[in-house]
A = this chain, B = another copy of it.
Amino acid sequence: MPLYAITIEYDGAPFVGWQRQDTGLSVQQVLEEAAAALLLPGEAPPEVVAAGRTDAGVHAAGQVVQVALARDLTPAKLCEALNHHARPHPVAAIRAALAPEGWHARFGAVHRGYRYRILNRRARPVLDGGRVWHIRHPLDAAAMHAAAQGLLGRHDFSAFRAAACQAKSPLRTLDRLDVARIGAEVVVTAEARSFLHHQVRNLVGTLAEVGLGRRPVSWPRAVLEGRDRAKAGQTAPAEGLCFEFVRYDPEPGWA
């Protein structure tokens, strides 16, 4: 049965998150119901597995998922069909590929990238409403960036991990954590093989304390070393976070 890899974009606002839940509509449910419209007679309901199980309200520009379907479809036809059946929900299949032998959307991912956008001005967001965290007081992005560099590398990230995190180990290797000001925006770019639950949002909430001048540049590193979630900053709001990309080795042969 062919296994398809699909790159997905979604607006997180109307969903309870990636994963199916009894409490409301998930992105997974939208995609599984769209894929179910493509089944052959007698074929079991499809399971759609994602590279990253994003939280309620978190957006994706480059989530990657897999689904096995008996039907033999070109990548373009598969995207068209999923997009047709996913309507009117804000979920789109933007490219697809036949997955390489042994490929897995979640366990095969070797690198994940997130972007967190803060709108840093007094006026509320208009054009970027629902896509940014609005912080009215001026942020020192250079101080945030300097503080972020102290968190790179392989560490026990317990201080930045949600209580509900299901990962067996709190050890993660943070490869990139850049903070840059672009006009009125402060953009945080985070990359790692994998992240703990809420890790990016907890890192951003902690760096924001430095940006606001409430804590010194050395503080996030001290929080990391303390391994105590209660000592870190707030969990930054979901709406500023976007799951940007996933890399694999080997990469699917995207059409």
Interface residues, chain A, CB within 8 Å of chain B?
Answer: 9-11, 59, 61, 76, 79-80, 83, 90-94, 121-127, 129, 131, 184, 242
Contacts and interface: CB of A to CB of B under 8 A. Distances in A.
A190 to B, nearest CB: 18
Contacts of A94: 121-123, 184
A126 B184 contact: no
Which 5 pairs from chain A and chain B are nearest by CB?
Answer: A92-B123, A92-B126, A94-B123, A9-B126, A90-B126
Contact of A126 (B11, B76, B122, B129): B11
B127 A131 contact: yes
Contacts of A122: 76, 79-80, 94
Contacts of A124: 83, 92
A245 to B, nearest CB: 11
26 contacts: A9-B123, A9-B126, A10-B126, A11-B126, A11-B127, A11-B129, A59-B127, A61-B127, A76-B122, A79-B122, A79-B123, A80-B122, A83-B123, A83-B124, A90-B126, A90-B129, A91-B126, A92-B123, A92-B124, A92-B126, A93-B123, A94-B122, A94-B123, A94-B184, A127-B131, A127-B242
Contacts of A92: 123-126
Name which of A123, A131, A184 has the most chain B CB atoms within 10 A of its CB: A123
Contacts of A10: 126-127
A150 B127 CA distance: 32
Given A9-B127, A79-B122, A93-B123, 13 more contacts: A9-B123, A11-B129, A61-B127, A79-B123, A80-B122, A83-B123, A83-B124, A90-B129, A92-B123, A92-B125, A94-B122, A94-B184, A127-B242
Contacts of A93: 123
A219 B4 CA distance: 42
A87 B83 CA distance: 35
A235 B116 CA distance: 35
Contacts of A76: 122
A187 to B, nearest CB: 15
Contacts of A9: 123, 126-127
